[in-house]
């Protein structure tokens, strides 16, 4: 039980990576606050866990975020862990991308995650907790992939936000780290990856296959647990080798 007695907030917990993370944390003894815009989905996940509560939050709303953290704290105490997994994707050519696309995706993928980090860190400092804040970024924030001008820029911003927060909060022993998943079969990917994108992804990874939600949940568990006690401001790519690879071909 690597998270026994810890309170973890997981955003985007109704589906995909957030759901897998919430389940993994609960299996390791955490009390889990499952937050999502999709309240029915969050309730379904929370009800299947031993010690969890669901809440509705739009991570694009500061008011919602403050209220959700307050309610979570009343139920399970100051959060030890936050995982910002709620996010939206966009596959659109740069020349067709609008200012509105950028503003919407930044609001949810960057500012929402930042506000959770800021507000929970304040409470952790007050409570003297050595917390762990985890942002789910993307390999799209590490490389300039076609169609990802707004999404990739939002994830690159989330990565730098992680590094700055880790720098400023390190003295309080609050760790802020990011995970950069490669492609994992979830609702988001089913919407964003057409046949051409899938074929290109598969060719761009030495493993030649999409990852599993469990891969991301295992990494989140490492970053949430004391095993990563001296890890600050890191971005862990969990991507079948995508971000570290150049040419991929069979060598004789
Ligand atoms: N699946 C992948 O291959 C992949 C790869 C790289 C990064 N990511 C990132 O991982 C995170 C999770 O992605 P996923 O694949 O699980 O997506 P998903 O669409 O399956 O799940 C995302 C969840 O976030 C919730 N959500 C969306 N907007 C919200 C909002 N404004 N407020 C609250 N909740 C909101 C949705 O309701 C949903 O339950 C995202 O940040 C995504 O960018 C995913």
- Give per-residue pLDDT as tens, 20-58: 999 999 999 999 999 999 999 999 999 999 999 999 999
CA of 12 from ligand 1 middle (Å) equals 6
Residue 221's Cβ-count burial label (10 Å; 0-12, 13-18, 19+) is buried
Where are the chain's structural domains? 7-236
Identify the residues whose C-beta falls under 6 Å from ligand 1: 11-12, 14-18, 36-38, 41, 57-60, 85-89, 108, 136, 138, 181, 183-184, 186-189
Query: Regarding the domain with residue range 7-236, which homologous superfamily does it belong to in the CATH classification?
Result: NAD(P)-binding Rossmann-like Domain (3.40.50.720)
Query: pLDDT per residue over 60-91, tens digit each?
Result: 999 999 999 999 999 999 999 999 999 999 99
Give the burial class of 195: count Cβ atoms within 10 A of its Cβ; 0-12 exposed, 13-18 middle, 19 or more buried: exposed
How many C-beta atoms lie closer than 10 Å to residue 183's C-beta? 24
pLDDT of res. 185: 93
| Structure tokens belonging to residue 236 | 């862990």
Per residue in 141-177, pLDDT tens? 999 999 999 999 999 999 999 999 999 999 999 999 9
- Residues 192-222 have pLDDT tens digits of 899 999 999 999 999 999 999 999 999 999 9
Tell me, yes or no, if the pTM score tops 0.95: yes
Ligand 1 centroid, distance to 250 Cα (angstroms): 34
Report the residue among 10, 11, 12, 216 best suited for mutation to probe ligand 1: largest number of ligand atoms under 8 A from its CB: 12
Mean per-residue pLDDT of the chain: 97
Backbone angles phi, psi at 174, to 5 degrees: -105, 120
Q: What is the mean pLDDT of residues 238-251?
A: 96
User: How is the chain classified by DSSP, letter by letter?
Assistant: -TTTT-EEEEETTTSHHHHHHHHHHHHTT-EEEEEES-HHHHHHHHHTSTTEEEEE--TT-HHHHHHHHHHHHHHH-S-SEEEE-------B-GGG--HHHHHHHHIIIIIHHHHHHHHHHHHHHHHT---EEEEE--GGGTS--TTBHHHHHHHHHHHHHHHHHHHHHGGGT-EEEEEEE--B-SHHHHHH--HHHHHHHHHTSTT-S-B-HHHHHHHHHHHHSGGGTT--S-EEEESTTTTT--------
Of the candidates 177, 187, 174, the residue with the CA atom closest to the CA atom of residue 83 = 177
pLDDT of residue 19: 98
pLDDT digits (tens, 9 = 90+) for 87-109: 999 999 999 999 999 999 999 99
For ligand 1, the distance from its centroid to the CA atom of residue 155, given in whole angstroms, is 12
How do residues 219-235 score in pLDDT, each as one tens digit? 999 999 999 999 999 99
């Amino acid at each position: 039980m690597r998270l026994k007695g810890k309170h973890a907030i997981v955003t985007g917990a109704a589906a995909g990576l957030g759901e897998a993370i919430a389940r993994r944390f609960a299996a390791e003894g955490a009390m889990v606050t499952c937050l999502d815009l999709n309240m029915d989905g969050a309730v379904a996940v929370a009800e299947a866990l031993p010690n969890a509560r669901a809440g509705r939050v739009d991570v694009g709303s500061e008011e919602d975020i403050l209220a959700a953290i307050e309610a979570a704290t009343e139920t399970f105490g100051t959060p030890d862990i936050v995982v910002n997994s709620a996010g939206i994707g966009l596959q659109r050519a740069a020349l067709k991308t609008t200012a509105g696309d950028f503003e919407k995706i930044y609001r949810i993928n960057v500012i929402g995650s930042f506000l959770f980090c800021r507000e929970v860190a304040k409470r952790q400092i007050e409570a003297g907790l050595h917390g762990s804040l985890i942002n789910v970024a993307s390999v799209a924030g590490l490389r300039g992939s076609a169609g990802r001008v707004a999404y990739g820029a939002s994830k690159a911003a989330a990565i730098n936000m992680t590094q700055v927060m880790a720098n400023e909060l390190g003295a309080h022993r609050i760790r802020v780290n990011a995970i950069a998943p490669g492609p994992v079969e979830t609702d988001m990917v089913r919407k964003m990856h057409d046949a051409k994108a899938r074929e290109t992804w598969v060719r761009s990874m030495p493993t030649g296959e999409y990852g599993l939600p469990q891969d991301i949940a295992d990494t989140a568990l490492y970053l949430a647990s004391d095993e990563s006690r001296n890890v600050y401001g890191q971005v862990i790519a969990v991507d079948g080798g995508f971000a570290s690879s150049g040419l991929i071909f069979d060598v004789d």
